[in-house]
Chain A
Amino acid sequence: GEDVEQSLFLSVREGDSSVINCTYTDSSSTYLYWYKQEPGAGLQLLTYIFSNMDMKQDQRLTVLLNKKDKHLSLRIADTQTGDSAIYFCAESIGGYSTLTFGKGTMLLVSP
């Protein structure tokens, strides 16, 4: 079955880079997503990557995908206190519109 795993917590200092990791088990994943959730709010899409890509960069965000190891990472450059939030990794499987989410990684950025 499908399963998406993430580490639960990451703490960094302002200005450092943050790397949030995710592993998934379903090799038929078509798209992989990163969502951000601020306290008491809904989720907002940060970025996504198609499964035949290795890397995608979008301003301060870099997504790396290792399909062989089923490993996805999100790097945030020059992390700011406003980046403190919970980050969710999610996968979609070909033929379905539903997403499977990981449990989320809480990122805490200290000044």
Chain B
Amino acid sequence: DGGITQSPKYLFRKEGQNVTLSCEQNLNHDAMYWYRQDPGQGLRLIYYSQIVNDFQKGDIAEGYSVSREKKESFPLTVTSAQKNPTAFYLCASSLGLAGAQETQYFGPGTRLLVL
């Protein structure tokens, strides 16, 4: 089955700790995205990558870092600098054809909670 997987489903972070959220896709998509969802806030873009070894900051990149060493993987690290990390994190991917019809396919999400 083609799709996007995110792990873990739930993640707990202690104060001052970095945690990494996994996102893997087997859709052969060039572009991948990380969003944060808070109640009543909709989706806000954290980082995106349109090609391997390249990524750009989204609207709320502070306190987060990413890497894109492989086409199918785009892990997100929530660093200790992110003071309010409790949220639902969604990963997505798309073909990456700017200007074309660009459906984004979403993973099931990871819920991060701070202890």
Contact = CB atoms under 8 A, between A and B. Distances in A.
B45 A98 contact: yes
18 contacts: A30-B99, A35-B106, A40-B109, A41-B109, A42-B90, A42-B108, A88-B43, A92-B102, A96-B99, A97-B94, A97-B96, A97-B98, A97-B102, A98-B48, A98-B58, A99-B104, A101-B35, A102-B42
A88 B42 contact: yes
A52 to B, nearest CB: 12
Interface residues of B, number: 31
Interface size classification for chain A? 20 to 34
Interface in B9-37: 31, 33, 35
Interface of A: 8, 30-31, 33, 35, 40-45, 48, 50, 88, 92, 94-99, 101-104
A49 B48 CA distance: 23
A45 B107 contact: no
Contact of B108 (A31, A41, A94): A41
Contacts of B35: 101
Contacts of A95: 98-99
A100 B75 CA distance: 22
B90 to A, nearest CB: 6
A98 B107 contact: no
Contact of B103 (A33, A40, A41, A98): A33
Contacts of A99: 102, 104
